[in-house]
Amino acid sequence: MILELISIILGGMTIGSALMVILSKHPIRSVLYLVITFFFISGHFILMNAQFIAIVNIIVYAGAIMVLFLFVLMLLNLNKVDEKKTNHPISFTAVIAGGALLLVILAALKDGITFTNTIVKSDVGLVENLGTLLFSKYVVPFEISSILFISAMVGAVLLAKREKQHID
């Protein structure tokens, strides 16, 4: 009873802060609202007893990726360059298209949505169970992801390295 009430309130706050991400004019405010959205989504993960994913979401997403966004935003120093207004017809069409996307997804799923598929509290999201699964069944993809990180790091350094002669 209290759990469902918490989840509904948390869901409303998640949707509100996600809307503020795309509605706020200043990009730094968008980043901060996105961090708040990620914290709310981690709250949903904790409600579903997925503790490992909740902590990973906070540390990696809200802690690392969003701080990277914030640093790039401060590095570019866009405060003086104001974002040009999206012209009205394109914005209107985008909202219509997104609403149609939501409508299609929900219409495709409407027979399955009965609000009776209750999530029972499971221990599958605890660190011990996920660690056993990660290092037995999924150990090869886990090792391959380190290669992905190495290549992403090399690519980022290579791309952002300042050239000797200035490109203009």
Partner 1 sequence: MPAALSITQGLTVDYYVILSSILFSIGAIGLMTRKNMIVMLMCIELMLNSVNLLLVAFSSYFNQGDAQIFVFFIVVVAAAEATVGLSILILAYRNKRNIDADLFNNLKG
Tally the C-alpha atoms within 13 A of residue 71's C-alpha that lie toward its C-beta: 6
- Minimum CB–partner distance for residue 17 and partner 1 (Å): 10
Q: Does residue 125 touch partner 1 according to CB under 8 A?
A: yes
- Minimum CB–partner distance for residue 153 and partner 1 (Å): 7
**Residue 41: how many CB atoms within 10 A of its CB?**
20
Q: Does residue 58 touch partner 1 according to CB under 8 A?
A: no
* Cβ–Cβ < 8 Å for 53, 125: yes
Q: Does residue 72 touch partner 1 according to CB under 8 A?
A: yes
Q: Does residue 34 touch partner 1 according to CB under 8 A?
A: yes
**Residue 61: how many CB atoms within 10 A of its CB?**
17
Q: Does residue 127 touch partner 1 according to CB under 8 A?
A: no
Distance, in Å, from the CA atom of 88 to the CA atom of 90, rounded to the nearest integer, reads 6
Q: Does residue 11 touch partner 1 according to CB under 8 A?
A: yes
Q: Does residue 136 touch partner 1 according to CB under 8 A?
A: no
- Minimum CB–partner distance for residue 151 and partner 1 (Å): 8
Unique residue bearing structure tokens 């409600």: 47
Q: Does residue 21 touch partner 1 according to CB under 8 A?
A: yes
Q: Does residue 80 touch partner 1 according to CB under 8 A?
A: no
User: What single DSSP character describes residue 85?
Assistant: P
Site for partner 1 in 91-120 (CB under 8 A): 91, 93-95, 97-99, 101-102, 105-106, 109, 112-120
Nearer to partner 1, 114 or 164 (CB): 114
**Residue 38: how many CB atoms within 10 A of its CB?**
20
Distance, in Å, from the CA atom of 130 to the CA atom of 159, rounded to the nearest integer, reads 36
Q: Does residue 64 touch partner 1 according to CB under 8 A?
A: yes
- Minimum CB–partner distance for residue 103 and partner 1 (Å): 9
* Cβ–Cβ < 8 Å for 73, 28: yes
